[in-house]
Chain A
Amino acid sequence: MSDLRDLYQEVILEHSKAPRNYREMQSANHKAEGYNPLCGDHFTVFLDIEEGAIRDISFQGSGCAISKASASMMTQSLKGKSTAEADELFAKFHALVTSGSGKQEEMGKLAVFAGVSEFPVRVKCATLAWHTLRAALQGKQDAISTE
């Protein structure tokens, strides 16, 4: 039986209550909006990218504890990384939350999201900010949706 504490880890609850990098970024040169139409979650991800490196990253919006903590921790782990590294981490994160697979030691703090794989309906919550990030990196203008 899946345990609630696997999903709602302390780190996740803490980030959902006090999200990091939670602000609009005036100087953003990339940004995208993401929706989960089924539950009404809605985030904007802001990026300041220079020469393929993420100089700054922030987000704003509303969502459940999982989606908000995921967005918060995503911004922490990507600041200073290259866009190629961001793509790589997205793939690893996706594998982690969908199948619980992947090398958790390579995930750093993001490994706390492994418990999401036990809750299939919550995978979309955990990945919403990441999908939005991808849209921002690819310069998509339309808001992306999990559906």
Chain B
Amino acid sequence: MSTSAKAHAETVSGTLTEPEKSRVSAIFDVEAIRREFPVLHQKVHGKPLIYFDNAATSQKPKVVVDAIVNYYHQDNSNIHRGVHQLSERATEAYEKVRGQIQHFLNAASPNEIVFVRGTTEAINLVAQTYGRQHVGEGDEVVISALEHHSNIVPWQMLCDEKRATLRVVPMNDRGELLLEEYEKLLGPKTKFVALAHLANALGTINPVREMIRMAHKHNIPVLLDGAQAAPRLKVDVQDLDCDFYAISSHKLYGPTGIGVLYGKAKLLESMTPYQGGGDMIASVTFEKTLYNRIPYKFEAGTPDIAGVIGFGAAIEYVQQLGLDKIERHERNLLEYATKKLESIPGVHVVGTAKEKAGVLSFVMDGIHPHDIGTILDHEGIAIRTGHHCAQPVMQRLGIPATARASFGLYNTRAEVDALAAGVQKVKEVLG
């Protein structure tokens, strides 16, 4: 390990202004970071695991797993209802994370942070509450050609129910949205806009700030699917001025099954509840129920308390490392990997937008992505192959599938070298 440790250790010059309390300050010490992730230290098919499937889900640092274990060992209790000590501790820990996420997204108030199961549930919540209240027959909902199925299907379901129309912002061959076409789609019939901040299949960073401004000129609210952006870019919901922002913990180094819907308070207040049950009420009689205030109105039933606490540990971990440094590290890896793969004859990068992050989709002449995935797996390299839950993106580009390497904060240039060697191996085996 000691020789490779040197090879792995990378220095990424970051902003030196903020003295970090963490072990990582100016130096982005990848080898030290890797020690925090037990899952990375194993062999797959006899080769060291190289995990390049971070856009599907990220691995979890020890602090996250420990936070969950400690919660169950010491504080496990239901929240918002007990007068006893354990319930107080659980409630305090749970609500502390709401505050952390408020700061992480720079929301104006913790009341704007609603805990949900993940990005998918966040989008469904908005479609089923705000959407059903405001979208009617003949109205239009605008999404983009780059969306994940989770930001297509909930709107399709809404439009089917309301006899509204789903309109799609087209993209060019590089995977960039056409803003002039987007502008044409916005009009009096448009009742909602839902866009990916960072596209999962191609890695395009959409010009969402500009797109939100354009929608707001017509008083149309905008939801951003932040599942891929939140782990990779600094997100400031007030600066973006988005109306809703959806994120998943598990892509952000936290546990699965938990996520957040950010919504502007005045919008959340105007919305009907999503699900009925305990915790979301102020009072219940058989004649009438008064709903709790936001955000609790949207958190029916006992939530994933341990998941929230694990998510809080993940956010703290990421913030200590610094999102600006993570962003720079992953950008370096993406640029390096793009150059490496493009230099191999017969390999073509799919998605060549000017603004990209974290995701490298590619295809190989005469070789199906599924076969690429199997052979790379035998080299210990985990990538995703297929349509990445974005079938319309594949249809638009006229390809059935891609191979996708997606980077995380623990990936190294040496691993990218191994990927390039693995791709050569694919050519040897199938070429």
Q: Does A66 sit within 8 A of B, measured CB to CB?
A: yes
Known pairs A39-B385, A41-B400, A42-B400; A63 contacts B429 (CB<8 A): no
**Pair A40/B401 contact, Cβ less than 8 Å:** yes
Segment at the A interface, from B74-82, B279-287, B337-345, B366-374: B366-374
Q: Does B19 sit within 8 A of A, measured CB to CB?
A: no
**Pair B374/A122 contact, Cβ less than 8 Å:** yes
Chain A residue total in the interface (Cβ 8 A): 22
**Pair B374/A40 contact, Cβ less than 8 Å:** no
**Pair A4/B368 contact, Cβ less than 8 Å:** no
Q: Which residues of B contact A41 (CB under 8 A)?
A: 370, 400
**Pair B371/A65 contact, Cβ less than 8 Å:** yes
**Pair A39/B429 contact, Cβ less than 8 Å:** no
Q: Which residues of A contact B369 (CB under 8 A)?
A: 39, 64
Q: Which residues of A contact B368 (CB under 8 A)?
A: 62-65, 68
Q: Residue-by-residue, is B113-138 near A (CB-CB < 8 Å gives 1, otherwise 0)?
A: 00000000000000000000000000
- How long is the Cα–Cα vector from A40 to B369 in the complex, in angstroms? 10
- How long is the Cα–Cα vector from A42 to B394 in the complex, in angstroms? 14
Q: Which residues of B contact A65 (CB under 8 A)?
A: 367-368, 371, 430
**Pair A119/B387 contact, Cβ less than 8 Å:** no
- Chain A residue nearest to B367 (CB atoms) is A65
Q: Which residues of B contact A13 (CB under 8 A)?
A: 430
**Pair B430/A39 contact, Cβ less than 8 Å:** no
**Pair A8/B430 contact, Cβ less than 8 Å:** yes
**Pair A40/B430 contact, Cβ less than 8 Å:** no
Q: Does B45 sit within 8 A of A, measured CB to CB?
A: yes
**Pair A8/B429 contact, Cβ less than 8 Å:** yes
**Pair A4/B378 contact, Cβ less than 8 Å:** yes
Nearest-neighbour CB distance to chain B for A37, whole angstroms, equals: 8
- How long is the Cα–Cα vector from A62 to B385 in the complex, in angstroms? 15
8 Å CB interface, B347-369 against A: 366-369
- How long is the Cα–Cα vector from A68 to B430 in the complex, in angstroms? 13
- Chain A residue nearest to B370 (CB atoms) is A64
Chain A to chain B contacts (Cβ below 8 Å), 22 pairs: A4-B429, A8-B375, A8-B430, A13-B430, A38-B386, A39-B370, A39-B385, A39-B387, A39-B400, A39-B401, A40-B387, A40-B401, A41-B370, A41-B400, A62-B368, A63-B400, A64-B368, A64-B370, A64-B371, A65-B368, A65-B371, A125-B370
- B interface list, Cβ under 8 A from A: 45-46, 366-371, 374-375, 378, 385-387, 391, 394, 400-401, 429-430
